[in-house]
Amino acid sequence: MSESKFLLPDVGEGLTEAEIVAWKVAPGEQVAVNQVIVEIETAKSLVELPSPFEGTVGELLVSEGETVEVGTPIFTVTAGGATAAAAAPEQEPEPAEQVASDAAATVSHEEEPKPGAVLVGYGSAGHGTSRRRRVTHPGTASIPVSFSGGIAPAPAAPASAPAAPAAASHAAPASAPTARPAGPVVAKPPIRKLAKDLGVDLTTVTPTGPIGDVTRDDVLREATQATVFRNIQTPEWPDDREDRIPVRGVRKAIANAMTTSAFSAPHVSLFVDVDATRTMEFVKRLKNSADFADVKVSPLLIMAKAIMWAVRRNPTVNSTWTDEEIIVHHYVNLGIAAATPRGLIVPNVKEAQSMTLLELAKALEELTLTARDGKTQPAAMSGGTITVTNIGVFGMDTGTPILNPGEVGIVALGTIKQKPWVVDGEVRPRYVTTLGASFDHRVVDGDVASRFLADVASIIEEPALLLD
């Protein structure tokens, strides 16, 4: 004898519960299909429920007066007699898919089929708290890189993007980077910005991403290669006999500044070679650290810190000469000589002495980008107290920098390259650079100048000395 359970249905398009008002049958009674078995009250009305089963009433599972949720079993019937009008519940075919059309589609598919299962009662039963388990990922099918779904034959469009979408599983990351394929560059917008900020030409970068895209690492790799200034091509002699460039704007300003400085301050220049290997290692570690992931880190950053440390020990190099007095500044507005398309400008980082290493790195980066975009404000270029100029990026070993008017010291960082050096009595390849500096001899004598430059050099040689 099979027992069937009757579950409380949703009788009113979205009802969630009902109260059992009155049972019309008792356990043990014979009941026919469609015979009224119970009266329930819903939010909308009083409703009589007819029995879907024929047989003997088993148990009344809910008492009168009780409110239960849709989907709750409310009574049982034991099939009796040969002429069951309803098919036995086990023979009811389970619906092919539970395609519920409202929010209750979260019916968990792990539920076993119930006899007389309510198909259209949505109610609150079956709001699963778990999600269906994915077996496979839809893969990169949802990220088409080349779109071939055109309706009309596409007009002469460029060849579709490099490298077909990866296979369904993401499991295998791209292996060895392939040669740069033809076609448009494939890169996420943030990577494009990074490349732009670092001045990397994406079309020259070899992509290693899973769909042939350029990754962040690819860009960074390209950016750190070869800092030696490269001329791209040698143009032909122009046809004209001469070019006459008017002197105005930035060029005029530079000329005035240089003249003022060179012919009012007696310049003296000093040079020292230093083993910068530890600085290079430090820079590398900074680049790999999470804190410095989003900012450009270069030896110039360490130079800046070194200069400020040396200034603390030799304050007079951070001053201004007037005919009556020498003003020694107890703050550092660190000027950075920047080569822009319009010429040399020297914006300065205000109050650089109070910045952390990260803050200083960011300030340097922003200053450089702003200068490159030609957006440096005049205020940024005034009030400098000491300047550093990086001629190493142009491949120069050192030089004799000219003081920024109003300042008495300027330090030049040259190219850092491997040279033979003596370490512990042996000749070893080390990263060596020459630091050059010029001073105003009205304020700074040779001893102060030498000590200052030696202090800068000692940081470059051992950045750990910054841990004051």
Partner 1 sequence: MVATNENPRPANTVQLLTAEGRFQPSETSAEYLPYLERLDENDYRRFYRDMVRVRAFDTEAANLQRQGQLGLWVPSHGQEGAQVGSARAAKPQDHLFPSYREHVVGMIRGIDPIGIIGLLRGTTHGGWDPTDPAVGNFHLYTLVIGSHTLHATGYAMGMKFDGVVGTGDPEVDAATIAYFGDGATSQGDVNEAYVFAASYQTPQVFFLQNNHWAISVPVSTQSRTPLYLRSSGFGIPGVQIDGNDVLAAYAVTAKHLDDARSGEGPSMIEALTYRMGAHTSSDDPSKYRSDDELAYWAERDPILRFRVFLEQQGVGQAFFDSADEEAADLAADIRRRTLELTSPSVASMFEHVYSEPHPLTEEQRRWFEDYEASFGGDA
Partner 2 sequence: MSDVRSEAEYVEAELVETGQEDDASATDSTSLDTQAIDVVEIIESDPGSRVLEEHVAEQEWTREFVIDDEAAAAEGEDTAHHDTAHHDAQASAEVGEEAAAAEHDTSAEGDGSAAEPVAAAPEPRIQSLPMVKALNAGLRRALAEDDRVLIMGEDVGPLGGVFRVTEGLQKEFGPQRVLDTPLAEAGIIGSAIGLAMRGYRPVVEIQFNGFVFPGFDQITTQLAKMTNRHSGRMRFPVVIRIPHGGHIGAVEHHQEAPEAYFAHTAGLRVVAPSTPHDAYWMIQEAIESDDPVVFFEPMSRYWPKGEVDLVENPTPLHASRVVRTGTDATVVAWAGMVSVALRAAEIAAEEGRSIEVVDLRSLSPVDYGPVIASVQKTGRLIIAQEAPGNVSVASEVAATVAEKAFYSLESPVLRVSGFDVPFPPAKLEELYLPDADRILEAVDRALAY
How many Å apart are CA 259 and CA 279, to the nearest integer?
35
Please tell me whether residue 113 binds partner 1 under the rule CB under 8 A.
Answer: no
How many Å apart are CA 232 and CA 235, to the nearest integer?
9
Least distance (Å) between residue 362 CB and partner 1: 43
Q: Which CB, 51 or 318, lies closer to partner 1?
A: 51
Which of 451, 439, 373 shows the shortest CA–CA distance to 403? Answer: 439
Counting every residue written for the chain, the total comes to: 468
List 74, 77, 166, 186, residue binding partner 2 (CB under 8 A): 186
Least distance (Å) between residue 72 CB and partner 2: 36
How many Å apart are CA 322 and CA 320, to the nearest integer?
7
Binds 161, which of partner 1, partner 2, none (CB < 5 to 8 A, cut-off by type)?
partner 2
Beta carbons within 8 Å of 331's beta carbon, 6+ residues apart = 351, 353, 354, 385
Q: From the candidates 109, 127, 137, 441, give the one annotated as an active-site residue.
A: 441
Sign of CA dihedral 321, 323, 326, 327: negative
The site map against partner 1 for 46-65 (x = CB under 8 A) is xxxxxxx-------------
Take residue 269 and report the two structure tokens written for it: 């220049």
Binds 171, which of partner 1, partner 2, none (CB < 5 to 8 A, cut-off by type)?
none
Task: Find how far residue 204's CA is from the centre of its chain.
Answer: 22
Task: Find how far residue 10's CA is from the centre of its chain.
Answer: 50
Binds 213, which of partner 1, partner 2, none (CB < 5 to 8 A, cut-off by type)?
partner 2
> From its phi and psi, is residue 8 left (phi > 0), alpha (psi between -120 and 50) or beta?
beta
Q: Contact region for partner 1 (CB under 8 A) — 1-9, 239-247, 263-271, 386-394?
A: 1-9
Please tell me whether residue 182 binds partner 2 under the rule CB under 8 A.
Answer: no
Q: If binding means CB under 8 A, how many residues of this protein chain bind partner 1?
A: 46
Tell me which DSSP letter residue 209 carries. S
- What is the SS3 assignment for 243? coil
Please tell me whether residue 154 binds partner 2 under the rule CB under 8 A.
Answer: yes
Is residue 330 annotated as a catalytic residue, yes or no?
A: no
List 25, 118, 357, 393, residue binding partner 1 (CB under 8 A): 118
Active-site annotation, residues: 441
Positions in the binding site for partner 1 (CB under 8 A): 6-7, 9-13, 33-34, 44-52, 85-87, 92-93, 95-99, 101, 109, 116, 118-121, 132-138, 141-142, 149, 151
